Structure 1
């Protein structure tokens, strides 16, 4: 048996390809099928199965494409309530792939329809468990993403109780040397305290994961519910998309209209400009929002946090290569159908003034400071006393709350989000100078 972890850093998403005796099973594959097909080809194997732990909220899965193109059987818990053909797996159900056995473990808590999959090797030994969003390295999947969403309506408190029993009645019963392969790592919004490590063992989690340490259910539930981060707008949309099944990525990307010039963009449609902030501030189409796309960032998350599901938008990039990349990144969360047109930036009619850092440092009271970090970040400590906190995901809707009378300085924690935040206020707030503190915020943090 060979296990390959395929990790998408921008989404902090871990998926898996497992090969045995010339057959490949996939667990929670992302929208782009390329790495899974490459793995199968490299091992002279055939993709025969896709195991879905649950309908994911943060990315679009390719399970339907593997079924239609490769004849793979989709295995999922029947509680998901899908609209495609599948083979149901409930607690303790088993299926053999090659020489290994996949055993379903019902592990609700993050969602009410969640399976994990325990793999038994050819000798019947417990080898690895693919835990989806139930058990992470150092954490467990948050319980508040499925309130009012999906096939089953459950409160987050009910889900918290389910997670307590999942941890202590299911995972705690596994052998200590069983490898733990989760669907997410640090940086994912599906948990709140994940380790940077991308895999673990049951024994290590029993010793160090907070969820195993809390033996009292009410205490567990209270700790579990507090301190969760915001929920991006696209999360409920992706849950429903994955229950139905996304269409093949290549065909969907191909249909996105490519424009020849920014002049072809219609008015009153949101524009997402993915260029570096320096280039954006120098020249951009008036009203554009600067959601940067570069290696190591969270473009997909912030696109889906700022743009409502179903809201049409234009996509603007620095060059053709970047444009094609960003169309594909949009498709990873199922947003390619919302792109009204994609275009390489050729000219703009607006620019953004640069903040006089010396004046701001000496006289911060002359400015209205807008802190667009998440509430949990602000609770950990303010960078500027008197700053008004309006988290970035809420900024488009709450721009009217920005006080009048002073120029505005927007900051986040490192400079990435403030590029988007300042461009939102530049579009929505009239009569005020809007400045981006950008990466200079680090200087003030150190101070």
Structure 2
């Protein structure tokens, strides 16, 4: 059976393309829909259906633009109530793509409308299952992302629904089915996802904690909810955009891709509530940047960090981008619903300096220099708690970048301190946020823990009391 996974690593997202006999379907498309149309055109196929597994929280889907451009029908599972025309499938309803059959299986739990799609080949044999956020490789979807939008529905209730869905709809299926999930490692939609992006259902029954045959519902709920961190604040906003609709990507690009002179750029920054967002490499940002600008580099998990840290998708932005990366930046922002870019600095930081405007910098040292002095100053570790617990500098304080908006007051303001992460990306983001809030006493450690491990800095690990 012809199934193609189209994976976008920066947001750990998998869309799927299937084609047979001149007809095609797309599952869970991203907002930039050109690649899907091009893929179908290369096969001489017409996109017939756009299948959505649920109302996504971590990205804005491309279903509306793709339907408008191709005439394809949008399909959701039972209970979905979008504010636009769509087919609301019944549980077990079948759709034809050429000689292939797509069977909708309602699997509430991650969300109420969550639906998996069983892929049946031209001979009537089940080939695989597109599971959305119901079942990942090594994990299942967290049940706490949408309940706030559905009255008093609790995460415990949704977790119970998910237990039932897995055991009545997924686990009885053939072990040789291929599982095609919506996300891989790095997504905030689960807590223990594998780096692998497909597997057989039979192997998942052996290795995925959530599919243990002897697990009770109470055990499942407890284990699923244990250790969940608060979801990113932009998630509910993305859900609403996916339900209610959004501006076309073309209009977003046209509005945002406006080159501004340094004078106009500075005036807009002063006259509006826009955040100045610098997406260059962290090595360039630490050397010189516009004062009070925020760094989130394109080379990392750019869009999720924008969503997690800036939070409000209505927030106006002014951009500083590498030359030639203007449209890419706007597209990647649009994936998480940030459609309100006011313009881009024409000529970048060099033009800013030529206009006579001041720049700022972040003091940065090598791992070797850090190793000679780190015991004389506080050390802030910007990594996630799990990374910190596995290995950290003795005496370092863990202030995860994810929660800096809540924890920034724990950062020392009167004394200089070192700040590091895993490789140097997150520590610069955190340093830029602190600088924008009036902190100027941080010293960034280049290369992060990757470089520190090569020195004689003493590292330790968190030991659970039960292990003592």
TM-score clears 0.5? yes
- Asked if structure 2 preserves the Cα contact closer than 8 Å seen for 1:79 and 1:152, the reply is no
Deviates more, 1:299-308 or 1:407-416: 407-416
Distance change >3 Å, CA 66–CA 87, structure 1 → 2: same
- Asked if 1 retains the 8 angstrom alpha-carbon contact of 2:8 and 2:14, the reply is yes
Alignment of 1:102-121 (within 5 A): 102-121=102-121
- 1:407 corresponds, among 411, 416, 419, to 416
Residue equivalent to 1:441: 449
2:344 matched to 1:334?
Answer: no
Note the C-alpha offset of 1:370. Answer: 2.0
Offset, 1:215: 1.9
Name 1:50's counterpart in structure 2: 50
Deviation readout 1:88-112 (Å, 9 max, x if unpaired): 1122122222212211111122112
Deviations 1:389-446 (A, max 9, x none): 322133245433322332022222221111101111122134x422211314324346
Per-residue deviation at 1:123?
2.5
Greater shift, 341-350 or 30-39, is seen at 341-350
| Aligned counterparts of 2:260 and 2:131: Cα–Cα separation in 1 | 46
TM-score for both structures, normalised by structure 1: 0.93
User: Secondary structure of 2:402's match?
Assistant: helix
Contact 2:80 2:88 in 1 (8 A): no
Name the counterpart of 2:461.
Answer: none
**How do 1:324-363 and structure 2 match up within 5 A?**
324-335=327-338, 337-344=339-346, 345=348, 346-347=351-352, 348-355=358-365, 360-363=370-373
Secondary structure at the aligned position of 1:135 is classed as coil
Instruction: State whether residues 282 and 352 of structure 1, in contact with CA within 8 Å, keep that contact through their aligned partners in structure 2.
Output: yes
SS in 1 for 2:171: helix
CA shift digits 1:369-398 (9 cap, x unpaired): 2222223333x2451333333221332454
Q: Confirm or deny: 8 A CA contact 2:257 2:327 kept in the other structure.
A: no
- CA shift digits 1:264-299 (9 cap, x unpaired): 2322532110111221122111011111112xx200
- Look up the match of 2:202: 203
Shift in Å at residue 152 of structure 1? 6.0
CA shift for structure 1 position 301: 0.7
Contact 2:366 2:445 survives alignment (8 Å): no
Q: How does 1:309-320 map to 2 (within 5 A)?
A: 309=312, 310-319=314-323
Q: Aligned partners of 2:165, 2:453: CA distance in 1, in Å?
A: 40
Label 1:261 to 1:323 Cα distance change in 2 as closer, same or farther (>3 A).
same
Q: Unaligned stretches of 5+ in structure 1?
A: none
The separation in 1 between residues aligned to 2:35 and 2:176, in whole angstroms, is 28
Q: Is the 8 A contact 1:59 1:332 kept in 2?
A: yes
Range with greater deviation from structure 2 (408-417 or 418-427): 408-417
Show the counterpart of 1:377.
387
Relative distance call for 1:384 and 1:87 in structure 2 (3 A) is same
Uncovered stretches (5+) of structure 2, i.e. residues with no partner: 353-357, 458-468
Quote the Cα distance in structure 1 between the aligned partners of 2:333 and 2:384: 23
Q: Give the structure 1 partner of residue 466 of structure 2.
A: none
2:143 counterpart SS class: coil
Question: What is the distance in 1 between the residues matched to 2:88 and 2:190?
Answer: 27
Q: Which moved more, 1:310-319 or 1:358-367?
A: 358-367
Q: 1:97 to 1:388 in 2, by over 3 A?
A: same
Q: Is the 8 A contact 1:16 1:27 kept in 2?
A: yes
TM-score, scaled to structure 2:
0.89
Task: Describe the superposition over 1:16-48 as per-residue Cα deviations: whole angstroms up to 9, x where unpaired.
Answer: 111122111111111111221111111111011
- 8 Å Cα contact 1:229/1:376 also seen in 2: no
Pairing 1:138-153 to 2, within 5 Å after superposition: 138-149=138-149, 151=150, 153=152
Change (3 A) 1:270 1:21: same
Alpha-carbon distance between aligned partners in 2 of 1:154 and 1:102, rounded to the nearest angstrom:
30
Looking at structure 2, the residues matched to 228 and 342 of structure 1 have their Cα atoms a distance apart, in angstroms, of: 37
Distance 1:14 1:74 in 2: 18
Residue among 260, 274, 281 paired with 2:279: 274
Matches within 5 A, 1:88-127: 88-127=88-127
The two structures, once aligned, show a CA RMSD in angstroms of 2.0
Give distance in 2, aligned partners of 1:184 and 1:140: 10
Deviates more, 1:269-278 or 1:129-138: 269-278
- Asked if the contact 2:367/2:452 (under 8 Å) is kept, the reply is no
- State the alpha-carbon separation in 2 of the partners of residues 153 and 425 from structure 1: 37
